[in-house]
Amino acid sequence: FPAQLKLESSSNRDLEDLKAYLDRFFPLLTKTPSLSLEDRIKEMQRFFHLTLTGKLNAETKETMKQPRCGIPDIAN
């Protein structure tokens, strides 16, 4: 039971980190309708030439950890 709880809390944190990353570097542009989280993940995976899964997989998580510039990746 605690393992499950731990698992959930870490995946919640991953999800929060992911949304913060997407909001910061792949912000929803005012003109585009609200994209699904899966589409937003694909947008990031496409930019970084990752496998397009629409899911927070290991290589996407690894990319998010890379030191980087603070400017968004889609120019807006």
Partner 1 sequence: YETFPGNPRWRKRHLTYRIVNYTPDLPQKKVDDAIRRAFMVWSDVTPLKFQRVFKGHADIMIQFARGEHGDGYPFDGKGKTLAHAFAPGEGIGGDAHFDDAERWSEYNQEVNLFLVAAHEFGHSLGLAHSNVQGALMYPLYSYVNPATFRLSEDDKRGIQKLYGRKSS
**Contact flag: residue 37 with partner 1 (CB under 8 A):** no
**Contact flag: residue 49 with partner 1 (CB under 8 A):** yes
- Pick the binder of partner 1 from 25, 37, 50, 56 (CB under 8 A): 25
Q: Which residues contact 50 (CB under 8 A, 6 or more apart)?
A: 44, 59, 60, 63
Closest CA to 20 of 6, 45, 40, 49: 40
Closest CA to 45 of 25, 28, 31: 25
For partner 1, give the closer residue by CB, 36 or 65. Answer: 65
Of 1-9, 32-40, 50-58, 61-69, the segment contacting partner 1 by CB under 8 A is 61-69
**Contact flag: residue 5 with partner 1 (CB under 8 A):** no
